[in-house]
């Protein structure tokens, strides 16, 4: 059985939500429309269209606003059935009115959110989040919510759902997302609550308002656009080898004058520990592995050689932040030295 199915059922009619306007002004306006697919919520399609048209009119002050129920459709997801309405709001304005969309879905590399790769595993879970997120939307954006709906991602064989909230006007704050770097140990199923917790603290420190946190992903509103990023470093077989270098790692990731970064030793599912930096401009450094192409037999040997390697780097005019000793990869045994430089590389 497919994760969800939509069956078109009926076509309905429109409801006028505003009075006509003088002919002279009407000639300067053009006709546009706004279409959404909304959950039935126990009311008729006619009532839903009327309600949506009134919200649209109040938010936009457009002219000749008419809410039309185009269709009723049934949706099936994970063995549960739901009714949806396809509603179109027709209106006249001097230009098309584009909604500001807040999307609780997938997160791109810049902290923006997309419908693809939805946040919720079921339609019911998405619907359950609507009421609280509508409150947060209006509180932090300063806009009135016109519509809140659940959209599916592009993968119909493994459907996930994104909550989409529409408002009209200039938002006071924008929604951002934080998810641990996709190549970190989260990819292998390891808990990432320590990384997410550190990110949440940093978000709040800079005035962000966390509105969703499930220990894997965080969504937050920010009026100043302070985005939190992360960067993963080398793996360690022993926690002590990571912890003893945390002061050096903290210095490395905070050398950039605009950075404010916390560094932790994150445990993954394979009994290893990974250096992870979280904060403002955490991704503002580059990592060059073993600049001197030296491999060390022991951790102590690598640590003892750091000052010599760093002196050579300085004498060669290399702009670097610091060095970290870590186990070599699977091909080579022993340890290598990681040299961190400003973003842009050696």
Q: What confidence score (pLDDT) does residue 252 get?
A: 96
Q: What confidence score (pLDDT) does residue 26 get?
A: 54
**What is the spatial distance between Cα 118 and Cα 135, in angstroms, rounded to a whole number?**
21
Q: Which two three-digit tokens encode residue 260? A: 């404010």
Asked whether residue 331 carries a pLDDT value surpassing 60, the answer given is: no
Task: Tell how many helices (H) and how many strands (E) occur in the chain.
Answer: 8, 19
Continuous segment of H or E residues that includes residue 156: none
**What is the spatial distance between Cα 7 and Cα 30, in angstroms, rounded to a whole number?**
33
Is 320 in contact with 251 (CB distance < 8 Å)?
no
Give the CA diameter of the chain: 87
**What is the spatial distance between Cα 117 and Cα 152, in angstroms, rounded to a whole number?**
8
Q: What confidence score (pLDDT) does residue 249 get?
A: 97
Q: How far, in Å, are 33, 46, 94, 254, 264 from residue 25 at the CA level? A: 19, 29, 10, 58, 62
pLDDT band at 107 (very low <50, low <70, confident <90, very high): confident
pLDDT, mean over the chain: 86
Q: How far, in Å, are 7, 38, 58, 72, 148 from residue 44 at the CA level? A: 18, 12, 21, 10, 17
- DSSP secondary structure, 51-116, as one string: HHHHHHHHHH--EEEEEEEEEEEEEEETTEEEEEEEEEEEEEESS--PPEEEEESEE-TTS-EESS
pLDDT tens readout for residues 149-162: 999 866 555 578 99
Strand order in the sheet with 174-178: 174-178, 218-222, 209-213
pLDDT tens readout for residues 67-81: 999 999 999 999 999
pTM reported for the whole predicted model = 0.83
**What is the spatial distance between Cα 60 and Cα 32, in angstroms, rounded to a whole number?**
13
Q: Is 254 helix (H, G, I), strand (E, B) or coil?
A: coil
Q: What confidence score (pLDDT) does residue 1 get?
A: 45
Instruction: List alpha helices for 151-305, DSSP H.
Output: 193-205, 239-243, 246-253, 299-304
Q: What is the average per-residue pLDDT within 76-92?
A: 96
pLDDT tens readout for residues 126-154: 999 999 999 999 999 999 999 999 998 66
**What is the spatial distance between Cα 109 and Cα 279, in angstroms, rounded to a whole number?**
15
Which range is least confidently modeled, 103-112, 173-182, 210-219?
103-112
């Amino acid at each position: 059985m497919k994760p969800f199915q939509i069956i078109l059922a009926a076509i309905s009619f429109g409801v006028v939500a505003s009075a006509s306007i003088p002919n002279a002004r009407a000639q300067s306006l053009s006709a546009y429309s706004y279409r959404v697919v909304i959950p039935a919520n126990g009311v008729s399609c006619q009532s839903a269209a009327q309600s949506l048209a009134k919200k649209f009119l109040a938010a936009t002050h457009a002219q000749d606003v008419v809410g039309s129920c185009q269709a009723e459709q049934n949706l099936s997801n994970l063995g549960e059935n739901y009714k949806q309405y396809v509603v179109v709001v027709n209106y006249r304005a001097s230009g098309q009115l584009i909604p500001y969309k807040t999307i609780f879905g997938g997160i791109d590399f810049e902290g923006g959110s997309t419908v693809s790769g939805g946040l919720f595993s079921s339609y019911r879970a998405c619907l359950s989040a609507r009421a609280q997120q509508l409150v947060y939307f209006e509180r932090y954006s300063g806009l009135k919510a016109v519509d809140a709906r659940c959209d599916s991602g592009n993968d119909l064989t493994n459907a996930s759902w994104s909550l989409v909230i529409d408002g009209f006007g200039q938002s006071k704050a924008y929604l951002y997302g934080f998810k641990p770097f996709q190549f970190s140990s989260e990819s292998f199923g390891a808990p990432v609550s320590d990384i997410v917790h550190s990110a949440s603290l940093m978000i709040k420190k800079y005035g962000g308002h966390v509105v969703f946190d499930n220990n894997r992903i965080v969504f937050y509103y920010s009026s100043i656009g302070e985005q939190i990023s992360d960067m993963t470093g080398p793996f360690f077989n022993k926690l002590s080898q990571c912890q003893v270098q945390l002061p050096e790692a903290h210095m490395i990731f905070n050398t950039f004058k605009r950075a404010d970064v916390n560094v932790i030793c994150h445990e993954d599912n394979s009994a290893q520990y990974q250096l992870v930096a979280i904060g403002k401009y955490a991704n503002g450094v580059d990592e060059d592995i073993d600049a001197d192409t030296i491999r060390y037999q022991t951790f102590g040997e690598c640590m003892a050689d750091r000052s010599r390697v760093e002196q050579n780097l300085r004498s060669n005019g290399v702009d670097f932040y610091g060095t970290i000793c870590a186990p070599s990869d699977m091909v080579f045994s022993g340890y290598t030295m990681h040299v961190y430089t400003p973003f842009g590389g050696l």
